Structure 1
Amino acid sequence: MRTFETQGPLLSTCVGLRPLAERDGDITVIAEAADGRAGLSFVRELRPDVVLMDIRMPAMDGIEATGAIVADEALNGVRVLMLTTFDEDENVFAAIRAGAAGYLLKDVSPDDLRSAIRTVAAGDALLSPSVTAAVMQAIAEGHSPDPDGHGLDELTDREVEVLSGIGRGLTNDEIAAELFLSPATARTYVSRLLTRLDARDRAALIILAYETGLVRPGGTSRGWSPTQR
């Protein structure tokens, strides 16, 4: 694992990426660790902004280490970005469930890696396009749609529309354009959804949109709204 700084620190368990991460000068690697247990110790000591986490490591794997970071209230604000060669659905889903804010495959380009670190550091969630479709297909096939059980029945029509846009992978600006809102209003709706649905981050909202059947694999909306309860 290594630690990098994005105008603050970042830590990562993926060896050899320091030159790529630091190339633009706004990301600083503050520590590297050979396994999840050592990485967790570094995180507790150094409090990085972002942890670049490998999934398969000795002593403690990345999913377990991520869960430990997210469960530690003292580490609130530390964000985990998974970087791995493994794109099996269960790994991605487990990583997100553990609290990872992003998931990338190791064949990602250097520019996209740095962009992903910045995105996660800014508080947004990120899934590699190469794995998103497969993961969401698995989620949709493994769960029966249950909007009421997830609190969607308490949302307004507009909030459901915004959640649908999030589930389809739209940015806040794209949601704003689609729904004829200002970007600031779109951001307010997203923040409100995080609170109302008790969601950790945008990745959790994406999963929720699929689990409830609001969005289908492929990014199409089911067209459900609170008026259809």
Structure 2
Amino acid sequence: MGKLDNKVAIITGASQGMGASHAKLFVEEGAKVAITDINAEKGNALADDLGDNVIFIKQDVSSEDDWKKVIAETVDKFGKLDILVNNAGISFNKSLADITTDDYMKIFKINQLSVFLGMKYAAEAMKKNGSGSIVNISSMNGLVGGAIGYTDTKFAVRGMTKAAALQLAGSHIRVNSVHPGVISTPMIHQGDSEEVIKQFAKSIPLQRVAEPEEVSKMVSLPGIR
């Protein structure tokens, strides 16, 4: 038996990288999973690979209407919602002087607003079950300084997690945040970041960045209980 047998999960930003890794582990552990992403081609391909217990739903995580759609389609397909993994996120490697207001608002909507919307609408569905688990993917930059915009939103995710955990505890809904360091995903392998990542890895005791699967094992834990 899998550790997530009879659980139903939504994982955002799941067409690649950490989200795809989370989805694969959840399925291996027996969960039924709705994966969402703006990239329909990769999302549908992953859902096909993972089998009958997975559906793909195209989603703009900053859209309130899309959140309502995702929750409704998941419950309609699988009968309930037990777990939400707010995984979708982006980053810009720009300085405070160079980042534009449009850049900043894009980061805010995807990294922060989406987490608020996901918790709001997932909690409504979970209350009907009498329990649930929400896992918000923050970052080590939700604990220490880093890129402008990215750091701001990841600190906010940590704060929202604490606030929601207090408010939803009475409904037996757990809310946790996970704070990965540098993970080998497409997000960090973009532009001219490769050399920066190599230099940063030298400061890590293991002398390497982490793999998505290492984070997935931690993400799955709150849903098991």
Report the TM-score when normalising by structure 1.
Answer: 0.33
For normalisation by structure 2, the TM-score amounts to 0.34
Q: Which has the higher contact order (CA 8 A, sep 6+)?
A: 2
Structure (1 or 2) with the larger CA radius of gyration = 1
